[in-house]
Amino acid sequence: MDLLKNKYGWALLAGSACLFGFAPFGIYPIPVLALAILFALWQRADTPRGAAHLGFAFGLGLFGAGISWIYVALHDYGDMAMLLALPATMLFCAFLALFTALAGYLQARIPAANALRMVLVMPAAWVSVEWLRGMIFTGFPWLTLGYAHSDSPLAGYAPILGVYGVSLVAAISAGLLAYISINLLREPIAALHSTRSGAYPNDMSWSLRSARLAIGSLATVSRGVRSALLILALLWLGGALLRTVAWTQPHGEPFTVALVQGNIAESLKFHEDAVAGTLETYRRLVTQSPARLIVLPETALPLLRRDVPENYVQRLRDHAIQNNGDALIGVFERDNGNYYNSVFTLGTDAEQHYRKQHLVPLGEFIPLRPVLGWFINGVLDIPMGDLTSGGRLQAPLDIIGQHVAVNICYEDAFGEEIIRALPQATLLVNVTNDAWYGHSQAAAQHNQISQMRALETGRMMLRATNTGVTSIIGPYGRVLQQLPQHREAVLLGMAQGYQGTTPYVRWGNAAVLVLIALMLAGSWVAARR
């Protein structure tokens, strides 16, 4: 293939291959190997600009393959014309690829010896830019490298350093692999060239001799390569051992949960004629559930809270009280002229509310409204697309003897925001509607993100979604139970509250940022000697 003869083609393919490291595929070594290829290409780049171009090509592959589902949301459910939705998706992927380009440029500008560049500078630059991508313009941390390791040995670092710390260890692993491969290949290639210039370049003896020399050079690897292999093994073994550490302890008694998956078609959800059917679906599923905690998805009831019939609310409340528990119900709220994406409780405890605070640009609010408002309203048709944030600090909901920290949809992508409710919160609940993305891999990727939040906090995560992935995730980040997607069902299971503080809950992202600064400072000092 001509593509494979081009270094940018290799970068593009390596980035595209990362897709298979994330859910639903979950082949977590692939992104590490792909990043090792990028690091090796960066090592050979002639200029910082050349490294940036390679990073951009890698990013185009990574995001073009990994978040192509943006098109589904814009075109299939946002009613954006294909001629606009396709270039809009491509432009968004290209914008995200600028971050990987920035990582390439930055690592090339920092002075460092070859080995330290691959093992310290490149990983530090990569994760610094991942962190920046998760912060700037409200943040988009999707496909952060660490999420691919929610089920890998490296997940053991999550309770200490968070997802960016897992990314850093994975990126260091990629740097070590790049260093090892470059050094292992250097001697065999030199051996082959030396034998080609010998007396019998066209004889069978040349092939045999060159093969013996190549194998012999591999058998006598340098001390640097041996050290790199040892560090690589220790990093992964250390992660596996850390996965066995119990950072938190049970709080209270286990209790039954019912996570309701209504499977309401997004194309019908906000149609006035379909509202009665939606309400009846959720009434039926709720009243058939014997659990103490019943959780409905994000905006399960496509109405304002004040417009939900009171007799309907009372039936749900009576059932929750009969179960000696509570129900969490997704709905919209209006207060002082502002609209909110909310969850409210019904049952044995007084009614409480949580309002989504981290809103999705374009989907839930219009950024730069005076400039972009007329255009967005003209090309997108998203119901309730101009909401108000519920505020940074909201107390956990006190229900069924637990302190429940609710996060709505996209909010669980931001670990530094989830930990604001901790250590007070004993349980995490995510309510989501990923029906916007059809049958793409978006829902599985989102569930993988929730696994990381459970790991970071040492809490169980309960996910109730409209079309999937509805799941119960344990405090070690493992999916304990899960419903099939795109099917009306109720997931019945057991949950347990947890108390205690992981290092990540205490420090947040500060620890990994300090570690990155030390790596860069150490490389700079070594380069000046």
State the catalytic residues: 298, 356, 409
Distance CA 321, CA 162 (A): 38
The contacts of residue 486 (CB under 8 Å, 6+ apart) are 263, 439, 467, 468
Helix (H) or strand (E) holding 427: strand 427-432
Distance CA 223, CA 15 (A): 31
Q: Transcribe 162-222 into DSSP letters.
A: HHHHHHHHHHHHHHHHHHHHHHHHHHHHHHHHHHHTSS-TTSHHHHHHHHHHHHHHHHT--
Instruction: Assess contact for 173 and 232: CB atoms under 8 A.
Output: yes
Q: Could you give the 3-state DSSP secondary structure of residue 491?
A: strand
Instruction: Assess contact for 58 and 19: CB atoms under 8 A.
Output: no
The contacts of residue 13 (CB under 8 Å, 6+ apart) are 3, 4, 61
**Strand pairing of 397-399 and 402-408?**
antiparallel
Distance CA 229, CA 209 (A): 28
Beta bridge partners of 490: 260
The contacts of residue 66 (CB under 8 Å, 6+ apart) are 18, 19, 22, 142, 143, 441, 445
Q: Transcribe 326-373 into DSSP letters.
A: EEEEEEEEEETTEEEEEEEEEESSPP-EEE--SPPBTTTB-TTHHHHH
What are the phi and psi torsion angles at 355 (to 5°)?
-115, 130
What is the Cα 268 distance to its own chain's centre? 29
Beta bridge partners of 493: 257
Distance CA 414, CA 135 (A): 9
Instruction: Assess contact for 270 and 296: CB atoms under 8 A.
Output: no
Distances (CA, A) of 500 to 160, 477, 503, 510: 13, 16, 10, 19
Q: Could you give the 3-state DSSP secondary structure of residue 468?
A: coil
Q: Transcribe 99-139 into DSSP letters.
A: HHHHHHHHHHHS---HHHIIIIIHHHHHHHHHHHHTTGGG-
Distance CA 129, CA 171 (A): 12
What is the Cα 186 distance to its own chain's centre? 37
